[in-house]
């Protein structure tokens, strides 16, 4: 597993160093373009190939339930922890967001595929089902939470619901499940093309993650480390307990638990910006727990799956 994290860390460092190597590049726009390519082309291709060709018995509901349990548990713990901290409302709301929603594809998928190379298809199913659970909940529940801590008035959820409906992974998942259920034959060349496109997802996502990392002044270090403790340690324990109650089998049990140990999702910054929370503090918290995750994920795996 050490080689897996060393290789992913090296790609992350390459992404974070691009601005220094190519100062004339607009790294932020470049990163956004990569993200759009992954979201609208590469990830849907991977989703369709994996879902259409895989046996989904059991995991189709088990993985989303375990992931949702982790989100609910972390939100509850974070609410209790940050309620008593001497922070303004915008900072509290931003940090609570960081505690709940994990980076289950941009970091989770490459990590899991590296740890379980012999179960690549099964692992991809876990990451995909986690993503189609976490992203919609982030947009809906995250927006409700942000509204609670925002000074904005009269904000409704119409835009968030519209974004959920427009998520390409959800449409691709629905199309793949429908084709699978109706036994619609899909030509082999299409499945092969989807597999080729999907193979590019992991490397590009890790590169994009590195490009997004920013380390500014480390103010509020205590609260940000609290975020890391909840997201990187409490979350996998909750998901582990939920997956055990759901009687999940290997390798899904271990994979979904490790997905619970992933650092904060970058999409939370979009929510924070929209509702005028402290997005700079949130970005620093995400950067810190993303780096710490390279230590805590192996630790969690060693302790829970010796």
Confidence (pLDDT) at 179: 92
* Integer Cα distance of 62 and 181 in angstroms: 19
Q: pLDDT 10s digit of each residue in the chain, 306 long?
A: 667 778 888 888 888 888 788 888 888 888 888 888 888 898 899 889 988 988 777 788 999 999 999 999 999 999 999 988 888 888 999 999 999 999 998 888 888 988 898 888 888 899 999 988 998 888 888 888 888 887 655 555 676 677 778 788 888 988 998 998 888 999 999 999 998 998 888 788 788 878 877 666 667 778 889 999 999 999 999 999 999 999 998 889 999 999 999 999 887 887 887 788 888 788 888 888 988 998 999 999 999 998
* Integer Cα distance of 262 and 248 in angstroms: 19
What is the SS3 string spanning the chain? CHHHHHHHHHHHHHHHHHHHHCCCCCHHHHHHHHHHHHHHHHHHHHHHHHHHHCCCCCHHHHHHHHHHHHHHHHHHHHHHHHHCCCCCHHHHHHHHHHHHCECCCCCHHHHHHHHCHHHHHHHHHHHHHHHHHHHHHHHHHHHHHHHHHCCCCCCCCHHHHHHHHCCHHHHHHHHHHHHHHCCCCCCHHHHHHHHHHHCCHHHHHHHHHHHHCCCCCCCCHHHHHHHHHHHHHHHHHHHHHHHHHCCCCCCHHHHHHHHHCCCECCHHHHHHHHCCCCHHHHHHHHHHHHHHHHHHHHHHHHHHCC
Confidence (pLDDT) at 297: 94
Confidence (pLDDT) at 155: 54
Confidence (pLDDT) at 222: 85
Confidence (pLDDT) at 53: 87
Q: Model pTM?
A: 0.86
Of 243, 241, 235, 239, which is closest to residue 265 (Cα–Cα)?
Answer: 235
Confidence (pLDDT) at 234: 97
> Which residue segments constitute the domains of the chain, with CATH numbers given?
25-304 (1.20.1530)
* Integer Cα distance of 245 and 235 in angstroms: 16
Question: Is the previous residue joined to 29 through a cis bond, with omega within 30 degrees of 0?
Answer: no
Confidence (pLDDT) at 106: 81
Tokens of 64: 């989303």
């Amino acid at each position: 597993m050490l080689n897996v994290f060393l290789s992913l860390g090296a790609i992350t460092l390459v992404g974070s160093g691009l601005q220094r190597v190519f100062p004339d590049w607009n790294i932020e726009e470049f990163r956004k373009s990569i993200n759009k390519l992954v979201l609208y082309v590469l990830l849907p291709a991977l989703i369709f190939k994996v879902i259409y060709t895989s046996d989904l018995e059991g995991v189709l509901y088990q993985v989303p339930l375990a992931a949702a349990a982790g989100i609910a548990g972390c939100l509850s713990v974070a609410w209790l922890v940050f309620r008593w901290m001497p922070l303004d409302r915008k900072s509290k709301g931003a940090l609570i967001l960081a505690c709940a929603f994990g980076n289950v594809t941009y970091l989770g998928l490459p990590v899991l595929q590296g740890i379980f190379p012999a179960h690549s298809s099964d692992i991809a199913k876990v990451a995909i089902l986690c993503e189609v659970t976490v992203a919609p909940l982030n947009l809906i529940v995250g927006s409700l939470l942000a509204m609670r801590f925002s000074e904005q008035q009269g904000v409704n959820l119409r835009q968030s619901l519209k974004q959920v409906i427009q998520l390409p992974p959800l449409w691709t998942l629905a199309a793949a499940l429908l084709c699978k259920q109706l036994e619609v034959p899909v030509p082999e060349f299409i499945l092969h093309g989807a597999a080729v496109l999907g193979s590019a997802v992991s490397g590009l996502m890790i590169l994009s993650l590195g490009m997004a990392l920013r380390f500014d002044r480390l103010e509020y270090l205590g609260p940000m480390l609290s975020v890391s403790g909840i997201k990187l340690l409490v979350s996998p324990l909750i998901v582990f307990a939920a997956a055990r109650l759901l009687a999940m089998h290997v390798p899904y049990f271990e994979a979904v638990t490790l997905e619970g140990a992933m650092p904060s999702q970058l999409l939370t910054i979009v929510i924070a910006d929209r509702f005028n929370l402290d997005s700079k503090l949130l970005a620093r918290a995400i950067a810190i727990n993303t780096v710490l995750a390279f230590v805590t994920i192996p630790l969690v795996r060693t302790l829970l799956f010796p």
